[in-house]
Structure 1
Amino acid sequence: MKINVLDNAHKWFQTELELESGSYVHFFGKYGGKTNVHEGFSTGMRVESPEAPLAVFEKEGITYFTEHADDWFFAGYDLTVGYDEQRQEPIYFFQEEK
């Protein structure tokens, strides 16, 4: 599993969550909603330090990650985090692992 946070999404996280170098963002699966590959579950995020990271992506000192406990949601997929200009919020896209 790989994570990629695109520049425009990274800038949103920095601004909206007031992140600075040394900050962490945890992506996880949550009940309700959907993704392009999950029905009834969506992608959540919160600012917190990792305990047992599964996948990690770092940009400008900010670490984006998933935990081993989240493997049920991310197994078999890579995650790209982009930015929806119209909704002015992050958008999460899953594709099969390569």
Structure 2
Amino acid sequence: MKIEISEKAIHWFKEEVGLETGNKVRFFSQIYGTSPIQEGYALAFTINNDSKDAAVHTVKDGITFFIEESDLWFFKGHDLSVEYNEQIDELEYRYHKGNS
């Protein structure tokens, strides 16, 4: 599994959340939401500077984005792409069947 973060999404994180070099963002599953790969669950994020249980991570502009081992079930073998949608001024999560 891999995580990809677009340049526009990085800009959104910096402007809207105030992230800086050295910060860490954890993506995790939450109940009572919607996603195209898990009925009844959605993907969320939190600023979390403890990534000791990270199963997957990527670093972009000095910011680490990660998913813990306990949340891998949510992805069902899909990779995660985080994009920014200008029309709705929000992040969009896209899931692609991964080969890794």
Same fold (TM over 0.5): yes
User: Is the counterpart of residue 70 in structure 1 residue 76 in structure 2?
Assistant: no
Distance of 1:34 and 1:40 partners within structure 2? 6
**Alignment correspondent of 2:30:** 30
The residue type paired with residue 72 of structure 2 is D
Contact 1:24 1:65 in 2 (8 A): yes
Q: Return the TM-score normalized by structure 2.
A: 0.92
Q: Return the TM-score normalized by structure 1.
A: 0.93
Contact 1:35 1:93 in 2 (8 A): no
**Alignment correspondent of 2:60:** 59
Within-5 A mapping of 1:33-52? 33-49=33-49, 50-52=51-53
> After TM superposition, where is structure 1 displaced by more than 3 Å over at least 4 residues in a row?
none
Contact 2:54 2:69 in 1 (8 A): yes
**How far does the alpha carbon of each residue in 1:19-77 deviate from its partner, in whole angstroms, 9 at most, with x for none?**
11000000011112212222211110000021210111111100000001111212411
Name the SS for the 1:8 alignment partner: helix
RMSD: 1.0
- For structure 1, the residue ranges without an aligned partner over 5 or more in a row are none
Within-5 A mapping of 1:7-18? 7-18=7-18
Distance of 2:61 and 2:7 partners within structure 1? 11
Contact 1:32 1:41 in 2 (8 A): yes
The residue type paired with residue 28 of structure 1 is F
- For structure 2, the residue ranges without an aligned partner over 5 or more in a row are none
Contact 1:83 1:90 in 2 (8 A): yes
Count of residue correspondences: 98
